[in-house]
Amino acid sequence: MVSKPDISVKFCGYEIENPFLLSSAPPTCTGEMIQRAFKAGWGGAVTKTIKPDKTPVYDLKNRFGRMGIEDKQLVLFENIEEVSKRPVGTWVKEIKEIKKAFPDKLLVGSLMAEPKEDDWEDLARVISEAGVDMLELNFGCPHGMPERGMGAFCGQRPELIDSLTKAAKRGSSVPVMVKLTPNVTDIAYMAKTAEQAGADATSAINTVLGLIGVNIDTFEPMPSVDGKSTFGGMSGPGVKPIGMRCVAQIAQATNIPVSGIGGISTWKDAVEYLLIGAANVQVCTAVMWRGYRIVGDLVDGLTNYLSDKGFKSVNEIIGKTLPRLTSWSKLDKDWKVVANIDKDKCIKCGVCYIGCYDGGYQAIKFEPNTGKAAEVDEEKCDACSLCYLSCPVPGCITWKRVQQK
Torsion over CA: 28, 264, 172, 164 (sign): negative
Asked whether residue 261 carries a pLDDT value surpassing 90, the answer given is yes
Give which of 154, 152, 122 is closest to 135, Cα–Cα. Answer: 122
Query: Percent of the chain, pLDDT > 90?
Result: 89
Asked whether residue 169 carries a pLDDT value surpassing 90, the answer given is yes
DSSP string for residues in 109-167: EEE---S-HHHHHHHHHHHHHHT-SEEEEE----SSGGGGT-THHHHT-HHHHHHHHHH
- Structural domain boundaries enclosing 380: 332-401
Asked whether residue 190 carries a pLDDT value surpassing 60, the answer given is yes
Domain containing 374 — which CATH number? 3.30.70.20
Task: Write the CB contacts of 22 (distance below 8 Å, at least 6 apart in sequence).
Answer: 28, 34, 37, 42, 44, 45, 46, 282, 283, 284, 287
Give which of 121, 123, 108 is closest to 55, Cα–Cα. Answer: 123
Give pLDDT tens digits for 146-157.
Answer: 899 999 999 999
1, part of any domain: no
Q: What is the pLDDT of residue 405?
A: 61
Give pLDDT tens digits for 74-91.
Answer: 899 898 889 999 999 999
| Number of domains into which the chain is organized | 2
* Lowest mean pLDDT across 12-26, 50-64, 299-313: 50-64
Task: Write the CB contacts of 340 (distance below 8 Å, at least 6 apart in sequence).
Answer: 376, 397, 398, 399, 400
Q: Residues with catalytic annotation?
A: 141
Look over the chain and give the mean of its residue pLDDT values, rounded to a whole number. Answer: 95
Q: How far apart are the first and last CA of the chain?
A: 54
Q: What is the pLDDT of residue 68?
A: 83
For residue 393, the 8-state DSSP code is S
Asked whether residue 329 carries a pLDDT value surpassing 70, the answer given is yes
Domain containing 148 — which CATH number? 3.20.20.70
Write the burial class of residue 348 (CB in 10 Å: 0-12 exposed, 13-18 middle, 19+ buried): middle
274, part of any domain: yes
Work out the pLDDT band at 71, boundaries 50, 70, 90. Answer: low
Give pLDDT tens digits for 375-399.
Answer: 999 999 999 999 999 999 999 999 9
Q: Do residues 354 and 207 share a domain?
A: no
Asked whether residue 354 carries a pLDDT value surpassing 90, the answer given is yes
Find the angle CA(162)-CA(171)-CA(16) to the nearest 5 degrees: 90
Give pLDDT tens digits for 3-55.
Answer: 899 999 999 999 999 999 999 999 999 999 999 999 999 999 999 999 999 99
Q: Do residues 248 and 269 share a domain?
A: yes
Q: Where is the domain boundary, 301, 324, 347?
A: 324
Rg of the chain in Å (alpha carbons)? 24
Q: What is the pLDDT of residue 195?
A: 98
Amino acid (one-letter) located at 242: I
95, part of any domain: yes
Q: Do residues 95 and 139 share a domain?
A: yes
Q: Where is the domain boundary, 324, 351, 381?
A: 324
